[in-house]
């Protein structure tokens, strides 16, 4: 179980992008699952736009990451010396992320190499700018269906998908792309939460879990992430009094892609079972 009551406000992390994740999350994932210089992905896109090309910041070698939002993961990659690619469907988010990366960092650590950091406007369901099996870690944080709208019906924005079965189908496409771009034996982490509609619990997390297992991933971890200072409708209800429990946690699923020639039968209980 992970719980970060203070969120984390070092570097340029200010937490004012709705639904952003605490920098402790990508930081812990990066430290646990990658080595310096490796490539992290915060979910790529359809094709590199002129906009994206103009905003690509080239520095030393590679790493990649998806659904970049305000760039929390990118900032952590900069601090930890991991190459990274951040993709978001919304150009405004990519602008915010580039802005958050605009700080100088020169640690005393002699081994530190400033990493190459790339961003572009794109769709996590179609990562055709990212080569097959080129990524060391995917750390992704999609919208939780339509709980928080990130744009006004922008084409491809998953936060405009209200129907949960449809959302799970789209996440299945995201999962397939993750599977394609990830190197064998490497990890893909996704933070996802549930919601409540008509005063009843609506399970999103198990459907997203199944989407990733269906794409062939092996479940390595199911980390419960406690929520603090929630501002979304997951907390509020229009009524005089609450007659239900607030949803105070999310799931951070960590999946692994099987290694080349690895016999996966011993992991069958952690794989697609239906
Ligand atoms: C929960 S936010 C990510 C927040 C981020 N972790 C942070 O710390 O700022 C989800 C992001 O997914 C983006 N998004 C929605 N649909 C997408 C898609 N099809 N491809 C890529 N990004 C998408 C939204 O624009 C939004 O910025």
Residue 17 has what pLDDT?
Answer: 87
Residue 50 has what pLDDT?
Answer: 34
- Tokens 């998953």 belong to 158
| Residue to substitute in 26, 29, 40, 89 for testing ligand 1 pocket (most ligand atoms within 8 angstroms of CB) | 89
Residue 230 has what pLDDT?
Answer: 65
Superfamily for domain range 24-270: Vaccinia Virus protein VP39 (3.40.50.150)
Residue 18 has what pLDDT?
Answer: 86
Per-residue pLDDT of the chain (274 residues; tens, 9 = 90+): 999 999 899 999 998 888 899 999 999 999 999 999 999 998 733 333 333 333 343 333 344 456 888 899 999 999 999 999 999 999 999 999 999 999 999 898 889 999 999 999 999 999 988 999 999 999 999 999 999 999 988 999 999 999 999 999 999 999 999 999 999 999 999 999 999 898 899 999 999 999 999 999 999 999 999 988 765 545 555 556 667 788 899 999 999 999 999 999 999 999 999 9
Residue 45 has what pLDDT?
Answer: 31
Residue 243 has what pLDDT?
Answer: 74
Give distance in angstroms: CA of 82 to centre of ligand 1.
Answer: 20
Residue 170 has what pLDDT?
Answer: 98
The tokens for 272 are 């697609």
Please choose, from the candidates 154, 148, 90, the residue with its C-alpha nearest in 3D space to the C-alpha of residue 122: 90
Give distance in angstroms: CA of 141 to centre of ligand 1.
Answer: 6
Residues composing the chain: 274
Give distance in angstroms: CA of 161 to centre of ligand 1.
Answer: 13
Phi-psi region of 153 (alpha: psi -120 to 50; beta: other; left: phi over 0): left
């Amino acid at each position: 179980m992970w719980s970060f009551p203070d969120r984390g406000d070092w570097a340029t992390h200010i937490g004012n992008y709705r639904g952003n994740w605490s920098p402790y999350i990508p930081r812990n994932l990066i430290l646990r699952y990658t080595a310096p210089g490796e490539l992290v992905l915060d979910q790529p896109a359809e094709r590199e736009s002129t906009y994206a090309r103009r905003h690509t910041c080239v520095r030393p070698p590679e790493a990649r990451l998806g659904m970049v939002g305000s760039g929390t993961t990118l900032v952590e990659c900069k601090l930890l010396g991991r190459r990274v690619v951040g993709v978001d469907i919304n150009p405004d988010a990519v602008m915010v992320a580039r802005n958050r990366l605009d700080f100088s960092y020169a640690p005393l650590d002699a081994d530190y190499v400033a990493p190459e950091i790339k961003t572009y406007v794109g769709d996590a369901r179609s990562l055709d700018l990212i080569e097959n099996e080129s990524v060391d870690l995917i750390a992704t944080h999609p919208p939780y269906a339509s709980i928080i709208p990130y744009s006004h019906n922008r084409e491809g924005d998953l936060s405009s998908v209200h129907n949960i079965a449809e959302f799970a189908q789209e996440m299945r496409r995201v999962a397939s792309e993750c599977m394609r771009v990830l190197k064998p034996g490497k990890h893909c982490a996704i933070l996802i939460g549930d919601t409540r509609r008509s005063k009843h619990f609506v399970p999103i997390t198990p459907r997203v879990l199944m989407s990733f297992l269906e794409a062939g991933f092996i479940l390595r971890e199911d980390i419960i992430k406690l929520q603090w200072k929630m501002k979304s409708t997951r907390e509020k209800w229009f009524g005089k009094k609450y007659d239900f429990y607030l949803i105070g946690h999310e799931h951070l699923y960590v999946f692994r892609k099987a290694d080349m020639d690895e016999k996966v039968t011993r992991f069958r209980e952690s794989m697609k079972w239906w």
